[in-house]
């Protein structure tokens, strides 16, 4: 499911699919995306690159298209590969940078940037 909070410039995406379940937040105000993978008990954070990630209004339009048309091809699909590396727990300076919504999603979990 996807929830768009236009007034807060936030998009919440919830995937419920057994071991592949995840929650993702697009925080356009702070410019970051965070994905919490439940199977890995970790949070992955990346900076929003405007040339690769659709704008807030575009995400809403794409979601509507996908909902109304069962099979939609979009050239805007983005795949992200996170390299294995060192994780760390978030600190106050991280939460100021990433914002309250990502803090609520990722607090207490290892962060991978």
pTM: 0.74
CATH of the domain at 105: 3.30.390.150
Per-residue pLDDT averaged across 53-59, rounded? 75
Average pLDDT on 92-99 reads: 83
Number of domains the chain contains: 1
Nearest CA to 50 out of 73, 24, 81, 28 is that of: 28
Q: How confident is the model at residue 66 (pLDDT cuts 50, 70, 90)?
A: low
Domain span at 100? 2-69+78-111
Average pLDDT taken over every residue of the chain:
77
How many Å apart are CA 12 and CA 4, to the nearest integer?
6
Rounded Cα distance, 110 and 94, in Å: 12
């Amino acid at each position: 499911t996807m929830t768009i909070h236009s007034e807060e410039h936030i998009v919440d995406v919830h995937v419920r699919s057994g071991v592949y379940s995840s929650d993702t937040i697009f925080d356009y105000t702070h410019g970051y995306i965070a994905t919490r993978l439940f199977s890995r008990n970790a949070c992955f954070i990346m900076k929003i690159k405007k040339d690769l990630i659709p704008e807030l209004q575009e995400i809403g339009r794409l979601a509507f298209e996908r909902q109304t048309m069962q099979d939609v091809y979009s050239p805007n699909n983005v795949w992200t590969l996170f390299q294995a590396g060192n994780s760390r727990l978030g600190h106050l300076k991280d939460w100021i940078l990433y914002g309250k919504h990502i803090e609520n999603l990722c607090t207490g979990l290892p962060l991978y940037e």
